[in-house]
Structure 1
């Protein structure tokens, strides 16, 4: 066997044994990502349901009650109280007791019967843009559907042909028919957690060895810096692949994330992604003297990388000058690969740009980290 292979294997075995003996590190590498995936998968939910709603019915007729009852029949709005006037409704929104207030004027039914058109006022709390926009859309859609139905009923009552809408929209939701937040979010959370675990643990592990003097002892041995670095990176690379497998399993069994595409493509993209994250951790370790410095350095890298990845908020909603920075972020491309493969059954032909950029980032970051590691070892 070639001497370099023997040296590499010896370093890998030493790192595996050292990592396995440290229960805290093993917990951070295996249990912590799963626990965080469970918590974030259930906690991060953009589905808007059961929005607290109050009703002010100043008409108190069968028509106003029917309108309110049908409006609240779905799972978007949920009745919390019947209030006497607009002032009480405004106070409920101000105090956070309700997010929507439906207000019926005194002559609501009379205006409908006269054919003059009645108005229903909807007060919506805009402090939560997502909830308010969904609630306002639900109110507007129901009002439109009810108005169309009433026009048809009036036409049929007069013996006329019921008018038809010129264009009928028939929506069909692909890839995530139930519009489940977990199905969309969990792959992004897996990319985020893999970044946190591999980057920070790698940086802190090498910094700890520098503090205890173990790294200096290895550097004075005949081991080449490249072999030493590769041996230290390999165990974390394998653990990262295992973490991804566990995350995909939990995502499929617990959160219903489909596994439609090629898992081989996911594995290849994960390998390139881990080269980037571990290289960043290695680079941070080379400029850190203590574990505290390594942790702070890792945190300063991880936080912007997550915010600029599109995992938690869409990139298209960012300002143009900030969106350009996402092109330098490997987390973005890895999240796109996971979502494309798992949800859309996308193949290499569809995601070759993301995979190529992940490989390019991994190669460049590994080269930079290796150069820096060689300098600190010299």
Structure 2
């Protein structure tokens, strides 16, 4: 066997044994990602249901009660309590006891019977934009549907028929028909957890060896810095690939994430992504003298990388100048590839730009980290 391969195998075996002996690091690499995937997969949920609602019925008529019951019949709005007037309803919103208040005016039924428009006021707590937008949309859709029903009833009473609309909208939801939040979020959570496991663990592990003097002991051996670096990152690459496999299994069986594309493409892109994140961790380690510095450096990279990746919020909602920064973020490319392959069945021909940019980022950061590592270990 070639001497370099002998050195490489020795470093890999040493890293594996050291990791297996450290129960905390072993748990961080294996158990922690699965636990966090379960927790975040269920906790991060944009589906708005059972919004606490207050009703102010100043008309107290049969029509107002029927409309209120119809609005509250679904699972979007839940009746929390009835209020005397608008001021009492606003106080409920201020105290957080309700997020929506429906106000029926005194002449609600009278206006309907006259064939006039009857207005229902909806007070919505805008401090939670997602919940307020969904609740307001539910009220608007219900009002439109009830308006059509009243027009149809009036036309039938006159012996007329309502004309059919010139344009009808027939929506069809692709890739995620149930609009499940988990199907959208879980691939992003996978990328986020893999980033945490590889970058922080790599940075702190190398910093710990520098503090304990282990790295200095390796420097006086015949090991070449390149062999030492590759040997140190190899176990983390294998662990990262294994974590993604487990996360895919959990995402499919527990959260219903589809697997429509090539798993080989997912594996190849995951390898590029892990090499990129390990390169960042290695670079942070070469710039740090202590574990505390490595941890802070890893955190300073993690937070903007996650926020600028599209994991939780779409990139198109960000300002234009901020979107440009996302082109320097490997998490963005990996998330786009995962969602494209898993949800849409996209292939390499559809995602070649993301793969190319991810490979370019990984090669660049690894080259810079290797040079720094050679200087510190040489």
Q: Distance in 1 between matches of 2:272 and 2:156?
A: 66
1:262-277 to structure 2, matched below 5 A, reads 262-277=262-277
Aligned positions, number: 378
CA contact (8 A) 1:11 1:228 kept: yes
RMSD: 0.8
What's the counterpart of residue 127 of structure 1?
127
1:214-363 to structure 2, matched below 5 A, reads 214-363=214-363
Q: State the 1:168 CA deviation.
A: 1.4
Q: Distance in 1 between matches of 2:185 and 2:151?
A: 42
Q: State the 1:166 CA deviation.
A: 2.2
What's the counterpart of residue 19 of structure 2?
19
Q: State the 1:116 CA deviation.
A: 1.8
CA contact (8 A) 1:153 1:162 kept: no
Q: Distance in 1 between matches of 2:244 and 2:352?
A: 20
Corresponding residue SS for 1:55 = strand
Q: State the 1:191 CA deviation.
A: 0.1
Please tell me whether residue 55 in structure 1 is matched to residue 55 in structure 2. yes
Q: State the 1:206 CA deviation.
A: 0.5
Q: Which runs of 5+ in 1 are unaligned?
A: none
After superposition, the C-alpha distances for 1:156-213 in whole angstroms (9 at most, x for unaligned) are 1111122222221111111111111111001000000100110000001111111111
Corresponding residue SS for 1:328 = coil
Q: Distance in 2 between matches of 1:166 and 1:106?
A: 36
Please tell me whether residue 199 in structure 1 is matched to residue 199 in structure 2. yes
Please tell me whether residue 150 in structure 1 is matched to residue 150 in structure 2. yes
What's the counterpart of residue 173 of structure 1?
173
Q: Distance in 1 between matches of 2:61 and 2:250?
A: 52
TM-score (norm 1): 0.99
**Range with bigger deviation, 78-87 or 327-336:** 78-87
Q: State the 1:153 CA deviation.
A: 1.3
What's the counterpart of residue 116 of structure 1?
116
Q: Distance in 1 between matches of 2:176 and 2:75?
A: 19
Q: Distance in 2 between matches of 1:121 and 1:210?
A: 66
What's the counterpart of residue 185 of structure 2?
185
Q: State the 1:317 CA deviation.
A: 1.3
Corresponding residue SS for 2:327 = helix
What's the counterpart of residue 29 of structure 1?
29
Q: Distance in 1 between matches of 2:293 and 2:136?
A: 48
Q: Distance in 1 between matches of 2:168 and 2:136?
A: 21
What's the counterpart of residue 89 of structure 2?
89
TM-score (norm 2): 0.99
Q: Which runs of 5+ in 2 are unaligned?
A: none
Structure 1 runs of 4+ off > 3 angstroms?
A: none
